[in-house]
Structure 1
Protein backbone atom coordinates (compact mmCIF):
# COMPACT_ATOMS: atom_id res chain seq x y z
CA UNK A 1 0.00 0.00 0.00
CA UNK A 2 1.37 3.39 -0.99
CA UNK A 3 0.40 6.37 1.11
CA UNK A 4 0.03 9.83 -0.40
CA UNK A 5 1.72 12.99 0.83
CA UNK A 6 0.52 15.85 -1.35
CA UNK A 7 2.86 18.38 -2.92
CA UNK A 8 0.75 20.95 -1.05
CA UNK A 9 2.61 19.81 2.05
CA UNK A 10 6.07 20.76 0.76
CA UNK A 11 8.73 20.40 2.16
CA UNK A 12 7.24 17.56 4.23
CA UNK A 13 6.25 15.59 1.13
CA UNK A 14 9.96 14.85 0.63
CA UNK A 15 10.70 14.11 4.29
CA UNK A 16 11.20 10.37 4.87
CA UNK A 17 10.33 10.59 8.57
CA UNK A 18 7.10 12.46 7.81
CA UNK A 19 6.10 9.86 5.20
CA UNK A 20 6.93 7.05 7.63
CA UNK A 21 4.74 8.66 10.29
CA UNK A 22 1.86 8.89 7.80
CA UNK A 23 2.37 5.23 6.82
CA UNK A 24 2.28 4.15 10.46
CA UNK A 25 -0.90 6.16 11.08
CA UNK A 26 -2.68 4.74 8.03
CA UNK A 27 -1.65 1.21 9.03
CA UNK A 28 -3.02 1.73 12.56
CA UNK A 29 -6.30 3.15 11.25
CA UNK A 30 -6.72 0.18 8.90
CA UNK A 31 -5.93 -2.37 11.61
CA UNK A 32 -8.45 -0.77 13.93
CA UNK A 33 -11.28 -1.07 11.41
CA UNK A 34 -10.42 -4.03 9.19
CA UNK A 35 -11.53 -6.85 11.49
CA UNK A 36 -15.00 -5.61 12.44
CA UNK A 37 -15.74 -4.24 8.96
CA UNK A 38 -14.34 -7.30 7.22
CA UNK A 39 -16.17 -9.79 9.40
CA UNK A 40 -19.48 -8.00 9.08
CA UNK A 41 -19.16 -7.49 5.31
CA UNK A 42 -18.21 -11.10 4.68
CA UNK A 43 -20.94 -12.42 6.96
CA UNK A 44 -23.65 -10.36 5.25
CA UNK A 45 -22.30 -11.17 1.78
CA UNK A 46 -22.19 -14.88 2.63
CA UNK A 47 -25.80 -14.97 3.79
CA UNK A 48 -27.06 -13.06 0.76
CA UNK A 49 -24.97 -14.97 -1.76
CA UNK A 50 -26.07 -18.38 -0.47
CA UNK A 51 -29.67 -17.34 -1.06
CA UNK A 52 -28.98 -15.78 -4.45
CA UNK A 53 -26.93 -18.70 -5.72
CA UNK A 54 -29.55 -21.20 -4.50
CA UNK A 55 -32.23 -19.26 -6.38
CA UNK A 56 -30.36 -18.22 -9.53
CA UNK A 57 -28.44 -21.45 -10.05
CA UNK A 58 -31.04 -23.97 -8.83
CA UNK A 59 -31.01 -25.81 -12.15
CA UNK A 60 -27.23 -25.62 -12.71
CA UNK A 61 -25.68 -29.07 -12.90
CA UNK A 62 -22.06 -27.88 -13.06
CA UNK A 63 -20.89 -27.50 -9.46
CA UNK A 64 -17.71 -25.65 -10.47
CA UNK A 65 -19.71 -23.05 -12.38
CA UNK A 66 -21.97 -22.57 -9.36
CA UNK A 67 -18.98 -22.22 -7.00
CA UNK A 68 -17.22 -19.73 -9.28
CA UNK A 69 -20.35 -17.60 -9.62
CA UNK A 70 -20.83 -17.63 -5.85
CA UNK A 71 -17.23 -16.61 -5.22
CA UNK A 72 -17.39 -13.73 -7.70
CA UNK A 73 -20.65 -12.46 -6.29
CA UNK A 74 -19.39 -12.78 -2.70
CA UNK A 75 -16.20 -10.88 -3.52
CA UNK A 76 -18.02 -8.00 -5.20
CA UNK A 77 -20.66 -7.72 -2.51
CA UNK A 78 -18.16 -7.97 0.38
CA UNK A 79 -16.03 -5.30 -1.31
CA UNK A 80 -18.98 -2.92 -1.71
CA UNK A 81 -20.21 -3.50 1.84
CA UNK A 82 -16.71 -2.96 3.23
CA UNK A 83 -16.35 0.33 1.36
CA UNK A 84 -19.71 1.65 2.52
CA UNK A 85 -19.02 0.56 6.09
CA UNK A 86 -15.40 1.74 6.45
CA UNK A 87 -15.17 5.13 4.78
CA UNK A 88 -16.71 7.34 7.48
CA UNK A 89 -15.06 5.61 10.46
CA UNK A 90 -11.71 5.85 8.66
CA UNK A 91 -12.17 9.55 8.00
CA UNK A 92 -12.96 10.19 11.63
CA UNK A 93 -10.17 8.13 13.23
CA UNK A 94 -7.39 8.67 10.68
CA UNK A 95 -6.83 12.27 11.82
CA UNK A 96 -6.19 11.16 15.39
CA UNK A 97 -3.82 8.43 14.29
CA UNK A 98 -1.98 10.90 12.05
CA UNK A 99 -1.56 13.46 14.82
CA UNK A 100 -0.34 10.82 17.26
CA UNK A 101 2.09 9.24 14.80
CA UNK A 102 3.52 12.58 13.70
CA UNK A 103 4.11 13.60 17.33
CA UNK A 104 5.75 10.20 17.96
CA UNK A 105 8.06 10.89 14.99
CA UNK A 106 9.13 14.27 16.39
CA UNK A 107 6.86 16.72 14.57
CA UNK A 108 5.30 19.55 16.58
CA UNK A 109 1.86 21.17 16.66
CA UNK A 110 2.83 23.88 14.17
CA UNK A 111 3.75 21.17 11.67
CA UNK A 112 0.56 19.21 12.19
CA UNK A 113 -2.12 21.85 11.89
CA UNK A 114 -5.73 20.88 11.25
CA UNK A 115 -5.23 21.84 7.60
CA UNK A 116 -2.27 19.44 7.27
CA UNK A 117 -4.28 16.66 8.91
CA UNK A 118 -7.29 17.35 6.68
CA UNK A 119 -5.14 17.12 3.53
CA UNK A 120 -3.50 13.90 4.72
CA UNK A 121 -6.87 12.33 5.60
CA UNK A 122 -8.38 13.36 2.27
CA UNK A 123 -5.39 12.01 0.34
CA UNK A 124 -5.17 8.69 2.20
CA UNK A 125 -8.72 7.64 3.10
CA UNK A 126 -9.18 6.00 -0.32
CA UNK A 127 -5.84 4.19 0.04
CA UNK A 128 -6.97 2.81 3.39
CA UNK A 129 -10.42 1.89 2.05
CA UNK A 130 -8.83 0.02 -0.86
CA UNK A 131 -6.80 -2.10 1.57
CA UNK A 132 -9.93 -2.93 3.55
CA UNK A 133 -11.91 -3.71 0.38
CA UNK A 134 -9.15 -6.06 -0.80
CA UNK A 135 -9.08 -7.88 2.53
CA UNK A 136 -12.87 -8.28 2.49
CA UNK A 137 -12.77 -9.68 -1.06
CA UNK A 138 -10.07 -12.19 -0.12
CA UNK A 139 -11.91 -13.21 3.01
CA UNK A 140 -15.17 -13.64 1.14
CA UNK A 141 -13.73 -16.57 -0.79
CA UNK A 142 -11.46 -18.06 1.83
CA UNK A 143 -14.09 -17.80 4.54
CA UNK A 144 -11.41 -16.88 7.06
Structure 2
Protein backbone atom coordinates (compact mmCIF):
# COMPACT_ATOMS: atom_id res chain seq x y z
CA UNK A 1 0.00 0.00 0.00
CA UNK A 2 2.79 2.40 0.89
CA UNK A 3 4.74 1.71 -2.30
CA UNK A 4 1.60 2.34 -4.39
CA UNK A 5 1.17 5.75 -2.73
CA UNK A 6 4.83 6.64 -3.40
CA UNK A 7 4.40 5.60 -7.01
CA UNK A 8 1.30 7.82 -7.41
CA UNK A 9 3.09 10.79 -5.82
CA UNK A 10 6.15 10.25 -8.04
CA UNK A 11 4.01 10.08 -11.20
CA UNK A 12 2.08 13.20 -10.16
CA UNK A 13 5.30 15.09 -9.53
CA UNK A 14 6.72 13.97 -12.89
CA UNK A 15 3.57 15.18 -14.68
CA UNK A 16 3.70 18.58 -12.96
CA UNK A 17 7.41 19.05 -13.70
CA UNK A 18 6.94 17.93 -17.31
CA UNK A 19 4.07 20.37 -17.81
CA UNK A 20 6.11 23.22 -16.30
CA UNK A 21 9.07 22.38 -18.59
CA UNK A 22 6.83 22.32 -21.67
CA UNK A 23 5.19 25.63 -20.71
CA UNK A 24 8.49 27.45 -20.14
CA UNK A 25 10.10 26.07 -23.29
CA UNK A 26 7.29 27.22 -25.62
CA UNK A 27 6.82 30.56 -23.86
CA UNK A 28 9.12 32.45 -26.25
CA UNK A 29 7.38 31.03 -29.30
CA UNK A 30 4.07 32.52 -28.17
CA UNK A 31 5.35 36.03 -28.96
CA UNK A 32 4.97 37.46 -32.45
CA UNK A 33 7.82 39.21 -34.29
CA UNK A 34 6.63 42.52 -35.69
CA UNK A 35 7.82 45.89 -36.93
CA UNK A 36 6.52 49.25 -35.67
CA UNK A 37 3.85 49.37 -38.38
CA UNK A 38 2.36 45.99 -37.41
CA UNK A 39 1.64 46.52 -33.70
CA UNK A 40 -1.75 46.08 -32.04
CA UNK A 41 -2.70 46.58 -28.40
CA UNK A 42 -3.09 43.72 -25.90
CA UNK A 43 -0.59 41.43 -27.63
CA UNK A 44 2.98 40.63 -26.64
CA UNK A 45 5.49 41.17 -29.42
CA UNK A 46 9.16 40.81 -30.16
CA UNK A 47 9.62 44.16 -31.84
CA UNK A 48 12.34 44.37 -34.46
CA UNK A 49 13.54 47.64 -35.95
CA UNK A 50 16.26 50.26 -36.22
CA UNK A 51 16.92 52.88 -33.53
CA UNK A 52 15.91 56.20 -35.07
CA UNK A 53 18.22 59.22 -34.87
CA UNK A 54 17.05 62.55 -33.53
CA UNK A 55 15.21 61.42 -30.42
CA UNK A 56 15.98 63.41 -27.27
CA UNK A 57 19.19 61.82 -26.03
CA UNK A 58 22.31 62.23 -23.95
CA UNK A 59 25.87 62.08 -25.31
CA UNK A 60 25.60 58.29 -25.67
CA UNK A 61 22.41 58.61 -27.75
CA UNK A 62 20.09 57.60 -24.93
CA UNK A 63 17.16 59.50 -23.42
CA UNK A 64 16.88 58.50 -19.76
CA UNK A 65 13.71 59.70 -18.06
CA UNK A 66 12.01 58.89 -14.78
CA UNK A 67 10.05 56.18 -16.59
CA UNK A 68 13.15 54.58 -18.16
CA UNK A 69 15.13 54.71 -21.39
CA UNK A 70 12.96 56.26 -24.11
CA UNK A 71 13.88 56.00 -27.79
CA UNK A 72 12.19 55.79 -31.17
CA UNK A 73 12.26 52.60 -33.22
CA UNK A 74 11.87 52.75 -36.99
CA UNK A 75 10.56 49.96 -39.23
CA UNK A 76 13.30 48.48 -41.43
CA UNK A 77 11.11 48.05 -44.54
CA UNK A 78 9.04 51.23 -44.10
CA UNK A 79 11.16 53.94 -42.40
CA UNK A 80 8.07 56.18 -42.05
CA UNK A 81 6.58 53.78 -39.50
CA UNK A 82 7.92 54.48 -36.01
CA UNK A 83 7.03 53.74 -32.40
CA UNK A 84 8.34 55.19 -29.13
CA UNK A 85 9.83 52.55 -26.85
CA UNK A 86 10.10 52.76 -23.05
CA UNK A 87 12.71 50.35 -21.67
CA UNK A 88 14.07 49.47 -18.22
CA UNK A 89 17.16 47.39 -17.65
CA UNK A 90 20.71 47.01 -18.84
CA UNK A 91 21.56 48.63 -22.16
CA UNK A 92 24.03 46.83 -24.46
CA UNK A 93 27.19 48.74 -25.39
CA UNK A 94 26.28 48.45 -29.09
CA UNK A 95 22.98 50.31 -28.61
CA UNK A 96 23.02 53.50 -30.72
CA UNK A 97 21.11 55.27 -33.49
CA UNK A 98 20.99 53.23 -36.67
CA UNK A 99 21.53 49.89 -34.90
CA UNK A 100 19.03 47.07 -35.42
CA UNK A 101 17.51 45.83 -32.16
CA UNK A 102 14.87 43.45 -30.82
CA UNK A 103 12.79 44.14 -27.67
CA UNK A 104 9.91 42.18 -26.16
CA UNK A 105 6.83 43.90 -24.77
CA UNK A 106 3.42 45.36 -25.62
CA UNK A 107 1.72 48.63 -26.57
CA UNK A 108 0.20 50.80 -23.86
CA UNK A 109 -2.88 53.03 -24.12
CA UNK A 110 -0.82 56.00 -25.41
CA UNK A 111 0.60 53.96 -28.32
CA UNK A 112 4.06 53.58 -26.77
CA UNK A 113 5.78 50.20 -26.73
CA UNK A 114 6.56 49.21 -23.13
CA UNK A 115 9.44 46.75 -23.25
CA UNK A 116 10.01 44.05 -20.65
CA UNK A 117 12.91 44.63 -18.29
CA UNK A 118 16.25 43.41 -19.71
CA UNK A 119 14.70 42.32 -23.04
CA UNK A 120 16.75 44.65 -25.29
CA UNK A 121 19.06 42.82 -27.72
CA UNK A 122 21.20 44.52 -30.38
CA UNK A 123 21.81 42.60 -33.58
CA UNK A 124 25.28 42.40 -35.05
CA UNK A 125 25.18 43.87 -38.56
CA UNK A 126 28.09 41.73 -39.79
CA UNK A 127 26.14 38.53 -39.11
CA UNK A 128 23.07 39.69 -41.02
CA UNK A 129 24.52 41.53 -44.01
CA UNK A 130 23.93 40.37 -47.59
CA UNK A 131 27.40 41.18 -48.86
CA UNK A 132 30.61 39.66 -47.44
CA UNK A 133 32.57 42.32 -45.60
CA UNK A 134 29.55 44.64 -45.49
CA UNK A 135 29.34 45.89 -41.91
CA UNK A 136 27.42 48.92 -40.73
CA UNK A 137 28.79 50.95 -37.84
TM-score, normalised by the number of residues in structure 2: 0.31
Larger relative contact order (CA 8 Å, sep ≥ 6): 1
The structure with the larger Rg is 2
**What is the TM-score when the length of structure 1 is the normalising length?**
0.30
Bigger proportion of residues as strand: 2
Structure number with the higher helix fraction is 1
